[in-house]
Amino acid sequence: MIGRAPHLEAFPLLLIFKGEMNGIKSLSLLSIRSRLVPNNSCGVRLLMRSVVLHQQKAPVEEKAQKMQLQHSVLEEIMFREEEKPKTTAQKVKKGAENTFLYVTVLASVATLGGISYLLFEYFFAPNSPQRIYSKALELIRSDPQCQALIGSSITGFGEQSRRSRRHIASLAYNKGDEKRVRVTFHVKGDRGAGRAQVEMVQKPGESWGYRYLLIQMADHSESIVLIDNR
Sort residue 66 into left (φ over 0), alpha (ψ -120 to 50) or beta. Answer: alpha
Rounded distance, CA 78 to CA 143, Å?
65
Asked whether the predicted pLDDT for residue 30 surpasses 50, the reply is: no
Rounded distance, CA 145 to CA 6, Å?
114
Identify the CA nearest to 134 among candidates 164, 167, 156. 156
Q: Are 137 and 150 contacting, i.e. CB atoms less than 8 angstroms apart? A: no
Rounded distance, CA 39 to CA 32, Å?
14
The predicted model gives 5-34 an average pLDDT of 43
pLDDT digits (tens, 9 = 90+) for 107-120: 878 777 777 666 65
At 106 the pLDDT is 81
pLDDT digits (tens, 9 = 90+) for 124-166: 677 889 999 999 999 999 999 999 999 989 999 988 666 655 6
Split at pLDDT 50, 70, 90, the class of 2 is very low
In this structure, which amino acid lies at residue 126?
Answer: P
| Largest Cα–Cα separation, the chain | 136
pLDDT digits (tens, 9 = 90+) for 169-186: 999 999 999 999 999 999
